Amino acid sequence: MHRKTNSFKNIPIAILIILVLLIFLFPIYWNIVTAFKYSDEILAYPPKLIPSNWTFFQFNKLLTVSNGVFIQFFINTVIITISTILLVLAVAIPSSFALAKLPFKGSRIVFILFLSIFMVPFQCLLVPLYSLLTKIRLYNTKFGLILIYSTFFMPFCIFMLKNAFAQLPNALFESAILDGASKRKIMISLFLPLSIPSIVSCIIYLFIETWNDFILAFMFTSSNEVRNIQVGIMNFGKQRFSSDWGIINSGTLIAIIPTIILFIILQKYYIQGMTSGAVKE
Amino acid sequence: MAEVRLKDIVKVYDGGVKAVDNVNIDIKDEEFVVLVGPSGCGKSTTLRMVAGLEDITDGELTIDGKRMNEEAPKDRDIAMVFQNYALYPHMSVRDNMAFGLKIRKYAKEEIESRVAEAAGILEIEELLDRKPKALSGGQRQRVAVGRAIVRKPKVFLFDEPLSNLDAKLRVQMRTEISALHTRLQATMIYVTHDQVEAMTMGDKIVVMKGGVIQQIGSPLSLYNEPINQFVASFIGSPAMNTVSAKVREEGGKIIVDEGGFVITAPADKEEGLRPYIGKDVLMGIRPEDVTVDANATQAAYIKGTIEVVEPLGDETILYISTADHQIVCKVEPTAMVKVGDELTLTPNVDKIKFFDIETEKSIFYRG
């Protein structure tokens, strides 16, 4: 039946949506225009919503200051992020498969223990982790940072993948067993391809969390050879009595680009992952 | 091909629930055995124990004389067709069928020829490159069967394979699976809750209830000689009417009287019914063993009022309320009857079954 919609009724909702969008998008807009302004215009009063002259001056400064250390930060972040994603997936996929389809005595408790890491605010662990990392000589190393990220972000991935695997019918597993497949073969040939949306969701989650991390990287790194992009931007954007907003904004703009590209490439799977299991097929 | 033997098989789940109790079945080579019973009767559990998907708590399973209890499912040389098909959604039909062979490292040519042969038998050649989601329910079921055929296993197991199909397709697939059995000459074990499937497909039927085998026999032997009231009402459609009736002696004859359903026991049954004089028995009559007859004799009759008339075209089903029960009858479609009519029917006395009201066992079961 055709239902007539009252378009006037929707006007307040539309206004509200636009207002919320403005609040969320304005900082990004401000970041973009600031990155393309000359330094004197950045702090001009009244503020200029649109730069009078668009320039790559800030980017040039960002990439050349301190012998191009920004590129070092970028590479560090790429290495740390990709290693964290690989390490977490390498552990989380088999663990989740076992928890979902190969129940063993105490598997529920193991799962709850994984989730319990979730429940502890990571801020509480900063000091003990600091002393632990120092003791085992992993303070200010990429590997130390990768281990910490993996520990904190693993539980969510196990939670997500375990549910994804558990949703797949047992008959599939049993059918493959009767076909003669080993458990590893079943995991790789059947369960992985059928759980791609959830795996992609995990990759996006891990990428965003690791790439954008500030606190952990700030706590556990002290040299430019190890620092990630977020800590790096802050470090050389901040001077003794002022901040170089040009460098900070151009650095931030470069830092958010990989996340946006990744999301655009993988969003199809991500949306599938978010809605998987919502409707019974 | 293979002989399968289940000896004193018991399955107890964690928590002490006994799903299967002391099951003994001998399945001959090339035999089509159907396990049938209501939900939760242990039929699927029994099948899964044969497959190796459930551990056997006690007893022994042998295939061709070799003990299989501890063997892994892949080493039992069996193939199983699941209720929900269990096709691998991301693989084409061809890859689905070839998956088991690839794992067993068959030569590429051998795999191709087996898949082609199975596809030919099941008439699914044109579907080989499709994914399961592009197939109808019937086609998926065919692929699932095909996946079993290519393996050329010793034993085929079917776990309610037709229950997700619509009624028409179910009838068609039923005959196809029967034809497949004739063609492959393989040992097959088939689980269903549908007694029509059991009757039409099985060489041998195993009726189960509460984890216990009630009776094993050919379809007709179960129909004609049910061991107890459960088997009597489970086999046959509509189900056998069973009513409690009083046994009394009158002028040297033994009368079994429900109120509206009264018979004089035939001579060969008198001896067996004598111990029940003054007591109640369960009297069973199949809907098809009743005729509408205005001249019903005093020796045997069913009197009642018609409550529901179901004309099916080739026959008409009547629901008649007698003194204390409702009796279902199958009558000729020409019978001029309507709801509310008082009716007298004649039961075929020789076909009437008597069951002990306490044990529910057939009083005249001859094994």
In whole angstroms, what is the distance from residue A165 CA to residue B361 CA?
48
Specify whether the CB–CB gap between B77 and B152 falls below 8 A. no
In whole angstroms, what is the distance from residue B108 CA to residue A32 CA?
58
- B89–A contact, CB cutoff 8 A: yes
CA of A179, closest CA in chain B: separation in Å?
4
pTM (2 d.p.): 0.84
Contacts of B83 in chain A (CB under 8 A): 171
- B78–A contact, CB cutoff 8 A: yes
Q: Which tokens go with B177? A: 């699976």
Share of chain A above pLDDT 70, in %: 93
CA of B34, closest CA in chain A: separation in Å?
21
**pLDDT category of residue A43 using cuts at 50, 70 and 90:** confident
pLDDT score, position B44: 95
Give the tens place of pLDDT for each residue, A191-210.
999 999 899 999 999 999 99
Task: Answer yes or no: do B100 and A180 touch at CB < 8 A.
Answer: yes
CA of B129, closest CA in chain A: separation in Å?
18
User: Which residue numbers of A have CB closer than 8 Å to B's CBs?
Assistant: 169, 171-172, 174-181, 185, 190, 193-194
pLDDT at B299 over 70: yes
pLDDT score, position B52: 95
Output the average pLDDT for chain A: 88
Q: Which tokens go with B237? A: 């459609």
pLDDT at A26 over 50: yes
**pLDDT category of residue A23 using cuts at 50, 70 and 90:** very high
Cβ neighbours for A60, distance < 8 A, ≥ 6 positions apart: none
Task: Answer yes or no: do A174 and B84 touch at CB < 8 A.
Answer: no
Single-letter code of the amino acid located at A58 = Q
pLDDT score, position A163: 93
Contacts of A178 in chain B (CB under 8 A): 51-53, 73-74, 78-80, 100
Q: How large is the average pLDDT for residues B199-211?
A: 95
Which of A178, A186, A276 has the most B C-beta neighbours within 10 Å, making it the best mutation to test the interface with B? A178
Give the tens place of pLDDT for each residue, B87-111.
999 999 999 999 999 999 999 999 9
pLDDT at B366 over 50: yes
Q: How large is the average pLDDT for residues A37-51?
A: 87
- B301–A contact, CB cutoff 8 A: no
Find the range with the poorest average confidence among A79-88, B3-12, B283-292. Answer: B283-292
pLDDT score, position A6: 64
Angle between helices A69-101 and A229-237 (to 10 degrees): 150
Specify whether the CB–CB gap between B134 and B56 falls below 8 A. no
Of A172, A178, A194, which has the smallest distance from its Cβ to B79's Cβ?
A178
pLDDT score, position A279: 47
Predicted complex ipTM = 0.85
CA of A165, closest CA in chain B: separation in Å?
14
pLDDT score, position A109: 93
**Closest CA relative to residue B141, chosen from B120, B158, B155, B154:** B158
CA of B29, closest CA in chain A: separation in Å?
21
pLDDT at B139 over 70: yes
Contacts of A194 in chain B (CB under 8 A): 89-90
B285 phi, psi to nearest 5 deg: -140, 135
Q: Which residues of B109-127 are buried (b: 16+ CB within 10 A; e: fewer)?
A: eebeebbeebbebbebeeb
Task: Answer yes or no: do A169 and B100 touch at CB < 8 A.
Answer: no
Q: How many CB atoms lie within 10 A of CB B366?
A: 5
pLDDT score, position A280: 38
Task: Answer yes or no: do B103 and A190 touch at CB < 8 A.
Answer: no
pLDDT at A139 over 90: yes
pLDDT score, position B10: 96
Q: Which domains does chain A have, with CATH numbers?
A: 7-59 (no CATH), 63-275 (1.10.3720.10)
In whole angstroms, what is the distance from residue B38 CA to residue A92 CA?
41
Q: How large is the average pLDDT for residues A56-78?
A: 89
In whole angstroms, what is the distance from residue A183 CA to residue A104 CA?
14
Find the range with the poorest average confidence among A20-29, A131-140, B195-204, B331-340. Answer: B331-340
Contacts of A193 in chain B (CB under 8 A): 90
Specify whether the CB–CB gap between B191 and B158 falls below 8 A. yes
Of B52, B86, B90, which has the smallest distance from its Cβ to A175's Cβ?
B86
Q: How large is the average pLDDT for residues B47-58?
A: 96
pLDDT score, position A47: 86
Provide the β-strand partners of residue B62: B5, B67
Interface of B with A in 91-120 (CB under 8 A): 99-100, 103-104
In whole angstroms, what is the distance from residue B329 CA to residue B344 CA?
12
Of A37-51, A136-150, A263-277, B258-272, which has the strongest mean pLDDT? A136-150
pLDDT at B146 over 70: yes
**Closest CA relative to residue B74, chosen from A176, A186, A172:** A176
Contacts of B103 in chain A (CB under 8 A): 179-181, 185
Give the tens place of pLDDT for each residue, B147-173.
999 999 999 999 999 988 888 888 988
Task: Answer yes or no: do B83 and A171 touch at CB < 8 A.
Answer: yes
Task: Answer yes or no: do A179 and B86 touch at CB < 8 A.
Answer: no
Q: How large is the average pLDDT for residues A219-233?
A: 91
Task: Answer yes or no: do A180 and B84 touch at CB < 8 A.
Answer: no
In whole angstroms, what is the distance from residue A51 CA to residue A59 CA?
15
Task: Answer yes or no: do A176 and B99 touch at CB < 8 A.
Answer: yes
pLDDT score, position A164: 92
CA of B172, closest CA in chain A: separation in Å?
24
Task: Answer yes or no: do A174 and B82 touch at CB < 8 A.
Answer: yes
pLDDT score, position B335: 79
pLDDT score, position B1: 62
Task: Answer yes or no: do B53 and A174 touch at CB < 8 A.
Answer: yes
Count how many Cα atoms sit within 13 Å of the Cα of residue B352 in the half-sphere of its side chain.
27
Of A74-78, A103-107, A242-246, which has the strongest mean pLDDT? A74-78
Specify whether the CB–CB gap between B295 and B303 falls below 8 A. no
Q: Which domains does chain B have, with CATH numbers?
A: 4-228 (3.40.50.300), 241-356 (2.40.50.140)
pLDDT score, position A101: 93
Secondary structure of A240-261 in HEC code, one letter for each residue: CCCECHHHHHHHHHHHHHHHHH
A170: nearest CA partner in chain B: B86
Helix (H) or strand (E) holding B214: strand B212-217
B144: nearest CA partner in chain A: A175
A195: nearest CA partner in chain B: B90
**Between chain A and chain B, how many beta carbons pairs sit less than 8 Å apart?**
52
Give the tens place of pLDDT for each residue, B210-236.
999 999 999 999 999 999 999 999 999
Specify whether the CB–CB gap between A234 and A226 falls below 8 A. no
A171: nearest CA partner in chain B: B86
Provide the β-strand partners of residue B290: B347
Q: How large is the average pLDDT for residues A25-53?
A: 90
Give the tens place of pLDDT for each residue, B5-37.
999 999 999 888 999 999 999 999 999 999 999
Query: How many residues make up chain B in this entry?
Result: 367
CA of B133, closest CA in chain A: separation in Å?
11
pLDDT at B334 over 90: no
Of B84, B90, B103, which has the smallest distance from its Cβ to A179's Cβ?
B103
pLDDT at B191 over 80: yes
Of B52, B79, B86, which has the smallest distance from its Cβ to A169's Cβ?
B86
CA distances from B190 to A217, B54, B61, B205 (A): 62, 17, 17, 9
Parallel, antiparallel, or unpaired for β B155-159 and B78-81? parallel
Cβ neighbours for B172, distance < 8 A, ≥ 6 positions apart: B138
